[in-house]
Amino acid sequence: MIDLRLGDCLEVMKEIPSKSIDAIITDPPYIGIINAKWDKGENPFNEELVKEMFRVLKENGSVYVWCGIGEKSNSLFEFYPVLKSKFHFKDLITWKKKKGIGMRKGWLYTREECLWFVKDNKSFFWNKENQYSEEERKTSNKTKCIPKSKFKRITNVWTDISEATVGNLKNKVKLHPCEKPVKLIERIILTSTQENQTVLDMFMGSNSTGLACKNNNRNFIGIEKDENYFNIAKERINE
């Protein structure tokens, strides 16, 4: 089930039944990005929205929120306290990008962050089978410890997914200025949800999360208030 809804996320979320969502994965407008029209304004995570997120999420559910840190955006610092008021903080994931941006005087900016929260730290779902990379461990005869897998576990610093995979596959044009690779979202979906469970993205954009759900047999509810991007999201999921 793929359910795309046009409208303000706070109003649309009130239509979603309580404890019906298994994971929230979203890439909201960052705060204070220089020369970025789409990221102006106040913190999208106000108290009322976070209460709705808490209401719709199941007890064993996770919340993943993309954000930034640095001169170009301090959204990590803005998002964290309001989300922490309702959810338990688990980790900060860093995505190491291949290309950098930034001023000539300073370090090249090549990272984005993802905050991971859970509703209940004792019961959150985690798929151990999908926590391993494709890189094999180096074996040693000196250790008596038998690893649970011959592959290395994925760390909280992701260096193996390129931003070059975003965009329309036909013309290789980005569909959204902040579009995330589908593979990036699929990694989260495979570890934090099971097949036929439901994922919510209330800042849908070009719909990378919806496509990742479709590829992996997850239900999806996507909310977008910009009609242009909503139409792009519909076209992309139907291709």
What string of H, E and C letters represents the secondary structure of the chain? CEEEEECCHHHHHCCCCCCCEEEEEECCCCCCCCCCHHHCCCCCCCHHHHHHHHHHEEEEEEEEEEECCCCCCCHHHHHHHHHHCCCEEEEEEEEEEEEEECCCCCCCEEEEEEEEEECCCCCCCCCHHHCEEEEECCCCCCCCCCCCCCEEECCCEECCCCHHHCCCCCCCCCCCCCCCCHHHHHHHHHHHCCCCCEEEECCCCCCHHHHHHHHCCCEEEEEECCHHHHHHHHHHHHC
Express each pLDDT in 80-93 by its tens digit.
999 999 999 999 99
137-146, 155-164, 222-231: least confidently modelled range: 137-146
| Cα distances (angstroms) measured from residue 57 to each of 86, 124, 162, 228 | 11, 11, 30, 28
Distance of CA 122 to the CA centre of its chain: 22
Model confidence, pTM: 0.85
Q: What percent of the chain has pLDDT over 90?
A: 46
Structure tokens at 175: 């569909």
Region 105-109 average pLDDT: 76
Candidate from 3-12, 42-51, 87-96, 166-175 with smallest mean pLDDT: 166-175
Distance of CA 168 to the CA centre of its chain: 19
Tell me if 187 sits within 8 A of 207, measured CB to CB: no
Are 5 and 221 a contacting pair, CB within 8 Å?
yes
What phi and psi values does residue 174 have, to the nearest 5 degrees? -65, 135
Q: What integer best gives the mean pLDDT of the chain?
A: 83
What is the per-residue pLDDT across 23-56, written as a single tens digit (0 to 9) for each?
Answer: 999 998 765 444 444 445 567 778 899 999 999 9
Residue bearing the bigger pLDDT, 35 or 233: 233
Closest C-alpha among 173, 182, 184 to residue 114: 184
Domains and CATH numbers, the chain: 2-238 (3.40.50.150)
Query: What pLDDT is attached to residue 237?
Result: 84
The listed range with the strongest mean pLDDT (32-36, 78-82, 137-141, 187-191) is 187-191
Confidence band, pLDDT 50/70/90 cuts, at residue 118? very high
Q: What is the pLDDT of residue 75?
A: 84
d(CA 236, CA 174): 12
Report d(CA 145, CA 226) in Å as an integer: 54
